[in-house]
Amino acid sequence: MFSLCWSCLFQALLLLIVANGAPVLTNKLLGKTLAKPIDNGLKLTDGHYLLGHRKTWRGLFSAIFLTTVVAVLLGLEPLTGVLFAALTMTGDLLASFIKRRLGKHDSSRARGLDTVPESLLPLWVLNASLGLSVVEILLAVGIFFLCEEFISPILYKWHIRNRPY
């Protein structure tokens, strides 16, 4: 009989929410202050930015800082928090890179692409540190996708997000 580690799943989802939410909250608090794009405005031969102006160093560092704090509060190693956030942001940057190559603009919606890389990458790489099985990883990715689908419109109505997705 297979049993799920509910506390492991909760920790994973909380870390995903913090890592992805930190840049959004930081942007809400600071506006454009210190919002230096990671790609420094670089456009590739396809005429689109490498990543886009919304992917900033400030967002990356806020994700790493807050995720590490939460990881420590959850009893995890600080390095687990740092790596979790870095991998989450790597997945997010990969998705942005792909979206730019597809001709989509900053903050455009691409169902699945907006959530799967940034959730699957940290969960898969850090599964041992987080105590996650393959089933729990897939469940966490699915729950994170549904959270993004249903909670983002609420955050938009509360003026926390700039778009309803």
Q: What is the pLDDT of residues 76-105, one digit of tens each?
A: 999 999 999 999 999 999 999 999 888 887
pLDDT value, residue 107: 66
- 67-87: b (≥16 Cβ within 10 Å) or e: bbebbeeeebeeebbebbbbb
Assigned domain for 140 exists = yes
pLDDT value, residue 145: 92
SS3 state of residue 39 = coil
Task: Assign 120 a pLDDT band (cuts: 50, 70, 90).
Answer: very high
Q: How many other β-carbons are positioned within 10 Å of the β-carbon of residue 42? A: 10
Domain enclosing residue 26, as ranges: 15-157
Assigned domain for 165 exists = no
Assigned domain for 141 exists = yes
SS3 state of residue 152 = helix
Assigned domain for 127 exists = yes
* Selection from 136, 131, 94 nearest residue 115 by Cα: 94
Domains: count for the chain: 1
Assigned domain for 2 exists = no
Assigned domain for 10 exists = no
Assigned domain for 1 exists = no
Choose the weakest-confidence range: 22-26, 62-66, 99-103, 138-142.
Answer: 99-103
pLDDT value, residue 20: 93
pLDDT value, residue 163: 67
Choose the weakest-confidence range: 29-33, 87-91, 115-119.
Answer: 29-33
Average pLDDT over the chain, rounded to an integer: 90
Assigned domain for 75 exists = yes
Angstrom CA distances, 120 to 1, 109, 150, stand at: 25, 18, 19
Task: Assign 132 a pLDDT band (cuts: 50, 70, 90).
Answer: very high
